[in-house]
Copies of this chain bind each other. A is one copy, B any other.
């Protein structure tokens, strides 16, 4: 049980992708405080391994970072979508490859004091050709195949920094 029961909740702003809330929480008998948090969609990230043991990395522009980031394929889980379905969908949309086999690698909490959102990590194997379907905002995305050792080196050198990608690549390295 959480030590702080929720007394009331106020929505501060409602956006298409980000909504902010302020909860009044009971800190102790008769003492309340506030907890600010945001609601964003859960995410998926996929380490997709091809027949030669190489994994797919995608590189794309990130608005807030003002630079290109190198990630494993993935994105937001849609409303009422299962994480595994989102992982299959995002992998095919971003790389044009379908997962014949998909195994869970774990679930992480990216920013647990600020949001309950989680990232669901997967290992995709037995890849088969599918249909590339990048979004308009992903027009500058590029696809790169790297050995797992090269991907781990990219994480260790700071070339991969997105939390889900870092976690998924390192977890895959321990698994494979």
Contact = CB atoms under 8 A, between A and B. Distances in A.
Interface string A163-175: 1101100110011
Interface stretch (A13-21, A50-58, A83-91): A13-21
A130 interface: no
A171 B174 contact: no
A151 interface: no
A176 to B, nearest CB: 13
A8 interface: no
A112 interface: yes
Given A12-B12, A20-B18, A166-B167, A64 B113 contact: yes
B162 A108 contact: yes
Contacts of A22: 15
Contact of A115 (B37, B61, B111): B111
5 contacts: A2-B67, A13-B13, A20-B38, A40-B114, A110-B110
